[in-house]
A = this chain, B = another copy of it.
Amino acid sequence: MEILKDRIRQQGRIVSNEVLKVDEFLNHQVDPELVMEMGREFARLFRGEGITKVLTIESSGISVAFATALELKVPMVYAKRKRTLITEADAYSERVPSFTKGIVTDVIIAKELISPDDRLLIIDDIMANGDVVRGLIRIIERAEADLAGIGIVIEKSFQSGARAIREQGIRIESLVRISGLDRDRVEFE
């Protein structure tokens, strides 16, 4: 997606050789029209797949998942990162490490929101080691639902997450793939 590469070149900030910040248009400030373009592209890629729901995790995946669900005319579900007073006792929970947060969190989805009849599309903003997405995949398996595929805005292909998941035969579509982060340059595949 050339428009996204351009925006990353203009506004992405390289924090280290592993971390790229896209806080000006995706992860803190959000450009709604650019995110709608992402949603339209994911909808185009997965339209024939019989998707019943789009699944993401709070918070940075929500905008893109919303745009994709709007285009596919299906509901969006976002997994929560920990229990609150009003979360269902009856929920799937998986423990996952978070690469950028440097902590372990519980990923939680109310059981009533995923059924064996569902065919899910996972959407997330950035894939590094893929731990959170693997947590969502385990929840889909426990719910006996189908996983149609995974849409990622920015895949850091120099980290192992996406490769390991593709090796399980799961379809991942990434809007851009980054093969390396230099001090002053983002290398795209």
Listed in ascending order, the chain A residues whose CB lies under 8 Å from chain B are 15, 19, 21, 23-25, 28-33, 35-36, 53, 58-59, 62-63, 66-67, 69-70, 73-78, 80, 84-86, 88, 100-102, 109-110, 113
Contact = CB atoms under 8 A, between A and B. Distances in A.
B113 A76 contact: no
B29 A70 contact: no
Contacts of A80: 28, 59
Q: Interface centre among A28, A33, A67, by most B CB within 10 Å?
A: A28
Contact of A66 (B63, B78, B86): B63
B76 A29 contact: yes
A80 B62 CA distance: 13
Contact of A30 (B21, B30, B75): B75
Contacts of A84: 100-102
Contacts of A28: 77-78, 80, 109-110, 113
Contacts of A24: 113
Contact of A76 (B19, B32, B75, B85): B32
Contacts of A58: 58-59
29 contacts: A23-B88, A24-B113, A28-B77, A28-B109, A29-B53, A29-B76, A29-B113, A30-B76, A32-B66, A32-B69, A32-B73, A32-B74, A32-B75, A32-B76, A33-B73, A36-B70, A58-B58, A58-B59, A59-B59, A62-B62, A62-B63, A63-B63, A63-B66, A63-B76, A84-B100, A84-B101, A84-B102, A85-B102, A86-B100
Contact of A86 (B19, B78, B88): B19
Nearest to A102: B85
